[in-house]
């Protein structure tokens, strides 16, 4: 059942090109996105005033990344909320808004409660769910099924990747319908989406380098992930992937926040992982890395091919293929998943079933 792999997690990491491709193919036909089957006709989309993305854990990180991408592409206000906060908070929601609940299992207690709250307030709801017929899928007004297939490892990989894709597709379609991108741009973006599976495959082929680096980091005590914009959202997911299966303390910070406190934690040899997929923010994050280095940090940089000046600063660099920068999380997350996996393996831990965690959190 592990198809020759040592753990479900590494098997599922390798299934990502297929999972992403299936999810894309379910909504893109002949290069055209069609969401009418899930009830999101052009007219419905046109009447939506803003989006509320609500989720827990990695699904929340997918939402964080989506917030930057959708807001920028479709010029629509997007707000991201943790389901556990959303459900208890007295929020002022726009009645023409759309609440998007993102959940692999479709059974997460807080996410389900958030969905019910939105419905009770009369707000339209969309579920981005992987498990067919799950509670969240059944109760939402519209359902966007991610086609990751069954995910066994507690640490999510392929389901997270398909959640990103679902959000990207929503962003591109909202942009098209709302007229914030032209035909050419629309075509470019859909082509970039369709090219992602092959690029993920290429990153997977480079896994030995990450395995080598991860083995060297297996004794780390604290790891910091930093980035700006979408790279901050990627940092959050990278940090969670590492901590949940390796039990190494790790944190994600918006790079610009370091100086407001966290930099005091940097000591000789502390690993800091900088994510730099967004060209306009590249120099800014590099200067934050330089600041960490001058306090003794050991630096890993994750950036796209072409940004070779990172080697002047970082001690170890992973390059990923270029894509439209709105979709960068889909590629950048893969080396980080591999890093979490190989650190956990090097530490001899139960990768697929980390202590204290359940695959589906059905109690709050």
140 part of the interface to ligand M6R, by CB under 6 A: no
CA dist., res. 290 & res. 266, Å (int): 12
Q: Quick one: which segment of 38-46, 100-108, 306-314, 345-353 binds ligand M6R (CB under 6 A)?
A: 100-108
For the chain, the straight-line distance linking the first and the last C-alpha, in angstroms and rounded, comes to 31
Window 37-66: contact mask with ligand M6R (x via CB under 6 A):
-------------------xxxx-------
CA dist., res. 123 & res. 116, Å (int): 10
Q: Where are the alpha helices (DSSP H) in 34-125?
A: 42-46, 57-74, 83-86, 109-120
Contact 302, 273 (CB under 8 A): yes
Q: Which residue in 33, 53, 154, 336 binds ligand M6R (CB under 6 A)?
A: 154
Identified catalytic residue from 293, 322, 353, 359:
359
104 part of the interface to ligand M6R, by CB under 6 A: yes
Binders of ligand M6R in range 229-258 (CB under 6 A): 240, 244
Instruction: State which H helix or E strand residue 281 sits in.
Output: helix 279-293
Q: What letter does residue 48 receive in the DSSP assignment? A: -
Q: In the bound complex, what is the minimum distance in angstroms from residue 249's beta carbon to ligand M6R? A: 17
Question: Among this protein's residues, is 21 annotated catalytic?
Answer: no
Contact 59, 104 (CB under 8 A): yes
Q: In the bound complex, what is the minimum distance in angstroms from residue 361's beta carbon to ligand M6R? A: 5
105 part of the interface to ligand M6R, by CB under 6 A: yes
Q: Using alpha carbons only, give the angle 362, 135, 12 rounded to the nearest 5 degrees.
A: 70
337 part of the interface to ligand M6R, by CB under 6 A: no
Q: In the bound complex, what is the minimum distance in angstroms from residue 8's beta carbon to ligand M6R? A: 12
Contact 307, 314 (CB under 8 A): no
Q: Which is nearer to ligand M6R, 57 or 238 (CB)?
A: 57
Residues that bind ligand M6R (CB under 6 A): 56-59, 103-105, 108, 111, 154-156, 240, 244, 360-361
């Amino acid at each position: 059942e592990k198809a020759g792999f040592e753990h479900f997690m590494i098997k599922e990491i390798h299934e990502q090109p297929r999972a992403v491709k299936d999810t894309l193919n379910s909504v893109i036909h002949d290069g055209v996105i069609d969401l009418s089957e899930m009830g999101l006709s052009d007219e419905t989309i046109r009447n939506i005033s803003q989006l509320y993305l609500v989720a827990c854990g990695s699904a929340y990180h997918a939402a964080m990344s989506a917030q930057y991408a959708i807001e920028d592409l479709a010029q629509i206000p997007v707000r991201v909320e943790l389901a556990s906060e959303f459900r208890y908070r007295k929020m002022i929601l726009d009645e023409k808004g759309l609440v998007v609940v993102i959940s692999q299992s479709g059974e997460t207690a807080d996410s389900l409660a958030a969905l019910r709250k939105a419905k009770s307030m009369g707000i339209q709801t969309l579920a981005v769910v992987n498990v067919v017929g799950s509670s969240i899928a059944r109760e939402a007004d519209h359902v966007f099924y991610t086609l990751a297939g069954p995910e066994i490892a507690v640490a999510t990989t392929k389901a997270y990747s398909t959640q990103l894709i679902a959000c990207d597709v929503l962003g591109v379609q909202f942009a098209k319908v709302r007229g914030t991108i032209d035909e050419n741009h629309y075509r470019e973006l859909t082509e970039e989406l369709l090219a992602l599976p092959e690029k993920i495959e290429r990153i997977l082929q480079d896994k030995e380098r990450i395995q080598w680096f991860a083995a060297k980091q297996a004794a780390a005590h604290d790891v910091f992930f930093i980035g700006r914009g979408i790279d901050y959202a990627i940092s959050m997911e990278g940090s969670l992937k590492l901590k949940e299966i390796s039990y190494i303390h790790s944190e994600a910070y918006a790079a610009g926040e370091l100086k407001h406190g966290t930099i005091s934690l940097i000591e000789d040899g502390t690993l800091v992982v900088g994510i730099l997929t967004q060209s306009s923010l590249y120099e800014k994050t590099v200067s934050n890395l330089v600041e960490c280095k001058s306090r003794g940090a050991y630096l890993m940089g994750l950036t796209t091919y072409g940004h070779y000046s990172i080697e002047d600063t970082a001690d170890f660099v992973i390059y990923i293929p270029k894509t439209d920068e709105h979709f960068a999380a889909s590629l950048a997350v893969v080396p980080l998943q591999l890093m979490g996996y190989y650190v956990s393996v090097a530490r001899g831990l139960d990768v697929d079933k980390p202590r204290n965690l359940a695959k589906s959190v059905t109690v709050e």
